[in-house]
Structure 1
Amino acid sequence: MTRVLAVSTAFPPHRYPQHEITEELVSGLPPGSDRALVRRLHAAAGVESRHLALPLDRYRDLGSFGETNRLFVELAVALGAEAVERALHDAGVHAEDVDLVVSTTVTGIATPSVEARLAAEVGLRPDVRRTPLFGLGCGAGAVGLARVHDFLEGRPDGTALLLSTELCSLTLQRADTSTANLVAGGLFGDGAAALVAVGAERPADAGHPVGSDLSPASACTASSPAGSSGPSVVAARSRLYPGTAHLLGWDVGDWGFRMVLGPELPELVRLQVTEEVESFLAAHDLKPGDVGAWICHPGGPKIMDALAGGLGLPDSALAASRRALAAHGNLSSASVLQILKDVQAARPPSGTTGLVIGMGPGFSSELVLLAW
């Protein structure tokens, strides 16, 4: 089975409490806007603070889609490189050992893609296989882990890298007073995450000791010691829900990315995603009560409440997701990787079953079964 050696994160240096972000956005609303509604929506988002790609006052001066996308490329490459170097260091793996890199984002367009732009900087081989993913939204962190697993099942002596880089704040439409945009303005944060995994035939001691010369990441503080027992990937399942494509995604135009967010999503999660989770677990002779580590995308309080209620989970089950949402906001595809990092830091006992749940446009879900 695929073994996860390390998961690391990187955040922009600009961090603000939720109320400061709220008041900045309220101050820029068009005349006649319902400012009280914005404050209520932001207060109910379950977010206490967020990292932003830019200083808060810079967002007033952002202009065209072209300008914001140029900023995305510049900042995403720098932040992604930081996450990758840290993950390689924490895993005890040299960059030149990586055979595949999967990268995902849904908050900017880069051609060459983000992983191609940072490959030489972090020391990836010129012949490294690359799979950039776009359009999978918040579910892409789980999808990326599943695709890494697919590769390593066929290349059991290989090493793979997953990178998620999301700068959600650069997509904000300040003049858009739709409920979807107001909710997004109170929910999403910026960050990157990277994961290093190896195939079943890669020797357990194939990594290099932390502190050896592993490129600039050697100066980083390790989030999990090399050789620590990370989870193995047991199986994965993808699901599209027909007739739901209009509920989540981007409306793309001259203005950039405008949020599409249907109010029916929590009910869809409660009725259909929970059924898919139960079916997936049953295929492996498991029930929700057998899962000891829930790594669920924090799509917002209503989404998590719907999932927990539909599966009959105790309040503690999604605690890691709620803490991540409070501390950083919804990081789109990077969130499940950040949560997996936090769960791994708590050292789940051997024999623990974990489940990664990602949800994104389509409407779609991605499930990845883990075992410690």
Structure 2
Amino acid sequence: MSTPTPSPPPSAATVVAVEPVLPAHRYAQSEIAEVLAPLLTDPGPGRSLLHRLHAATGVRARHLALPLETYPDLVSGPGAFDTTNALFADLALDLAERAVKGALATAGLEPHDVDVLLFTTVTGVGAPSVDALLPDRVGLRPDVLRWPGFGLGCVAGASGLALLERFCAGRPGAVGLLVSVELCSLTLQAGDRSVANVVASGLFGDGATAVVVTGPGHPGPGWRVLDHTSRVLPDSADDLGWRVGSSGLRIVLSAQLPQVLARHVGHDLRAFLPDGGGVDRWVVHPGGPKVLDAVAAAADLPPGALDTSREVLRECGNLSSSAVLHVLARTAADPGQRAVVLGVGPGVTTQTVLLERV
């Protein structure tokens, strides 16, 4: 006997605004490949391989935090990590400000209404982190509850929705703010000729998102949070993440990641939604074409179910924790329709959130 799909409790939290933002510097994938190739490969077969791998990512254009021509000098030589990490703090704060102001305006709220602020990134480190600088920049209350996160990586966008639901559900008038900023271009490892680094140099883009989640009683449209679950997949710690060293953040990206997801995602989704959940929309992390293909096959999704995820991948690249939130922002739905948000990150960790449009 199947478990019934959860009904929205009267105390449910609601996602009332999702504001994606992108840096101003946009380049075709082929332009980026031409500039990065000398940094990552030797002339000859290695260079040809980079162009083939970049073409296979499904990415056609990406937005970068800085002008493309600045990267060769920026990421090369001793002290590059010091420089790029310092740049992250300033550039991330600017993007976060844009996203927060846009999200609060859409929600019809003021900065002083925000009770809790979750900030996530996996592309820059610092203390104080960006969330500590946001209150002065955008006018949040000085007593706002802050929680910066780093290690969740790409899954943090979906996990942030679940965490804010825990805070806001059952609290009328509560307002939570999730801010994700990922400047993946600043993590580029010049001189690293590994296949993982070459693939990453063609896959990841820069961007940010702010999401407003409220407790019960907020007027207007949004996505009511019905349920959520997370799982750390067994024997997968070496398939996705960073190795942190003197040169900064070195990518861990296993070719086996799609197979890891294929073994587990279908079973986990069926356990979470034993009756199918009446799902109309799929908001899946655009981790790459093979990741999306693996999820579609494992979950037995209909053709076109992941078109919005593929669109974000094509136009922006993989934005790490912001990517699935950009997909959510583009996901159109009528009242009563349901969406599954599926994030994937280091661990390997999955986070699934069930939403209903109101």
For Structure 1 versus Structure 2, the TM-score category normalised by the shorter chain is over 0.9
Paired residue for 2:246, among 250, 254, 257?
254
Could you tell me the percent identity over the aligned residues?
49
Q: Which SS does the other structure have where 2:125 is aligned?
A: coil
More off after superposition, 245-254 vs 27-36:
27-36
Paired residue for 1:302, among 290, 293, 296?
290
What's the counterpart of residue 213 of structure 1? Answer: none
Q: Partners in 2 of 1:180 and 1:76 — Cα distance?
A: 25
Q: Partners in 1 of 2:225 and 2:99 — Cα distance?
A: 21
State whether structure 2 residue 236 is matched by structure 1 residue 244. yes
Contact in 1 for aligned 2:229/2:352 (Cα 8 Å):
yes
What's the counterpart of residue 273 of structure 1? Answer: 265
Q: Which SS does the other structure have where 1:305 is aligned?
A: helix
Paired residue for 1:263, among 252, 255, 261?
255
Q: Partners in 2 of 1:177 and 1:272 — Cα distance?
A: 31
Correspondence list, 1:318-329, <5 A: 318-329=306-317
Shift of 1:154: 4.9
Shift of 1:29: 3.3
What's the counterpart of residue 15 of structure 1? Answer: 26
Paired residue for 1:132, among 124, 127, 148?
148
What's the counterpart of residue 219 of structure 1? Answer: none
Question: Are residues 30 and 320 of structure 1, via their aligned partners in 2, closer, same or farther at CA, if it must alter by over 3 Å?
Answer: closer
How many residues are paired up?
341
Q: Partners in 2 of 1:245 and 1:267 — Cα distance?
A: 14
More off after superposition, 31-40 vs 351-360:
31-40
Shift of 1:355: 0.3
- Alignment RMSD: 1.2
Specify the code of the residue in structure 2 equivalent to 1:170. Answer: L
Shift of 1:116: 1.0
Question: Are residues 265 and 203 of structure 1, via their aligned partners in 2, closer, same or farther at CA, if it must alter by over 3 Å?
Answer: closer
What's the counterpart of residue 60 of structure 2? Answer: 48
What's the counterpart of residue 82 of structure 2? Answer: 66
Compute the TM-score of the two structures, normalised by the length of structure 1.
0.89
Paired residue for 2:193, among 171, 177, 180?
177
Q: Partners in 2 of 1:321 and 1:110 — Cα distance?
A: 31
Contact in 1 for aligned 2:39/2:190 (Cα 8 Å):
yes
Structure 2 unaligned regions, length at least 5 = 1-11
Correspondence list, 1:76-155, <5 A: 76-155=92-171
Specify the code of the residue in structure 2 equivalent to 1:2. Answer: A
Specify the code of the residue in structure 1 equivalent to 2:84. Answer: T
Q: Partners in 1 of 2:186 and 2:94 — Cα distance?
A: 15
Shift of 1:275: 1.4
Q: Partners in 2 of 1:77 and 1:15 — Cα distance?
A: 19
What's the counterpart of residue 224 of structure 1? Answer: none
Paired residue for 1:286, among 276, 280, 286?
276
Specify the code of the residue in structure 2 equivalent to 1:169. Answer: S
Shift of 1:133: 0.9
Structure 1 unaligned regions, length at least 5 = 205-226
Shift of 1:137: 0.7
Q: Deviations over 1:200-247 (max 9, x none)?
A: 1x342xxxxxxxxxxxxxxxxxxxxxx3x2110011101011221111
Q: Which SS does the other structure have where 2:222 is aligned?
A: coil
What's the counterpart of residue 3 of structure 2? Answer: none
Q: Partners in 1 of 2:206 and 2:259 — Cα distance?
A: 27
Q: Which SS does the other structure have where 1:157 is aligned?
A: coil
Q: Which SS does the other structure have where 1:245 is aligned?
A: coil
Q: Partners in 1 of 2:204 and 2:195 — Cα distance?
A: 14
Q: Deviations over 1:309-360 (max 9, x none)?
A: 11111221000000000110000000111111111xx3x1222111000000
Q: Partners in 2 of 1:71 and 1:275 — Cα distance?
A: 42
Paired residue for 1:57, among 69, 74, 88?
69
Shift of 1:30: 4.5
What's the counterpart of residue 6 of structure 2? Answer: none
Q: Which SS does the other structure have where 1:272 is aligned?
A: helix
Q: Deviations over 1:52-103 (max 9, x none)?
A: 0010011011142111100011100111111111111111100000000111
